Amino acid sequence: MNKVVYPILLAFACLLPFSGRAQQDPQFSQYMFNGLFLNPATAGVDGLTRFQLIARSQWTGYQSNFDEGGAPATQIVSLNTPILRWKSGAGVYIVSDKLGPYTNQQIQAAYSYHFPVKTGKLSLGVSGGFYSQTIDFNVYRAIHPDDPTLASRNKESQIRPDLALGVHYQTEKYYLGVGSNHLTKPKFNFGLPSDSLNNPLSTNVYATTGYSYDLTYQIVLTPSLLFKTDLNTFSVEVSALATYNQKFWGGLSFRQGDAAIALVGFNALKDNALRIGYAFDFTVKGREAKRPGSHEFLLTYTLPPPTINKKSVTRTPRFRH
């Protein structure tokens, strides 16, 4: 076990940024189903092709002091698939994150290579793509009406390249991994002097782990943990899900300094191909500046397991009895 854990811890140390400013990436309460966003090494790791959509409405009903702004809203669409012939996997995701005057959009394509290690699978992954930031200057209210930063500006956008790396280890019972994004530290100044407006993305590090424990023949308990940091601030999410008969699940989660979360969901169709999930966040800290509730919906469709080098069986009525 140590031969697996030590390389992961070493990778964790190498991926940590040496300096940075706090930057809030989108957060998802159902992070345990959203591995590709946190770590490119999870691409294709389950050996199944999945299409997934997550839509999150944070602090529902929140209104800013002015007419515009409103509550944060985030959507992510992803595709995750194995490449069995190359012992690897690939994935792609698109994110749209609306936060006050900012609209952040990103598209990332990921590739991972899987190594068999004892009873598990060690994966190394990389993803690259583009990060777009749009700022609506009309939402700002200037202290000085002739402020040159805001004068004659409406909506403006900038696009920058982005890069992420990750390492992941998974067995039938547990997993652990580390991913780090924004390694290029994209900067957005919208053509203004750096001392007027400079909004670089800090490198973020995500560490995840989870374990499946069979309580009974039909009930499986899966505790999991997400640790995220930019070396200036950090946050921890601790969750526990109970799954009944591989069909229904429910559980609780707690996000440090933010919210208590209830999660429910079920699987449908043949081989549990369709997954539907819902999470409700109840704000427990900073409620004077937020609304008490956030809603998150998840929809996943999984294709049948792929076959490789497997000939189809031809039935001959003559030899059937």
- Average pLDDT per run of 10 along the chain, which is 321 residues long? 42 39 74 96 96 89 56 93 95 92 93 94 97 82 66 78 97 96 87 62 94 95 95 92 96 92 96 96 68 88 76 45 39
Q: Any idea what DSSP says for residue 29? A: T
pLDDT of 140: 67
Contact predicate 311/69, CB 8 Å: no
CATH of domain 2-306: 2.40.160.40
The predicted pLDDT at position 291 comes to 62
Q: What is the pLDDT of residue 178?
A: 97
Q: What is the per-residue pLDDT for 138?
A: 72
Domain ranges of the chain: 2-306
Supply the pLDDT for residue 190. 73
* Residues in contact with 296: Cβ distance below 8 Å, sequence separation at least 6, in sequence order: 28, 29, 30, 54, 55, 56, 57, 278, 279, 280, 281
Secondary structure element (H or E) that encloses residue 207, with its range? strand 204-211
pTM of the model: 0.83
Q: What pLDDT is stored for residue 165 in this prediction?
A: 98
Half-sphere exposure of 43 (CA within 13 A, CB side): 28
The pLDDT of residue 277 is 98
SS3 of 81, please? strand
Q: According to the model, what pLDDT value does residue 284 have?
A: 83
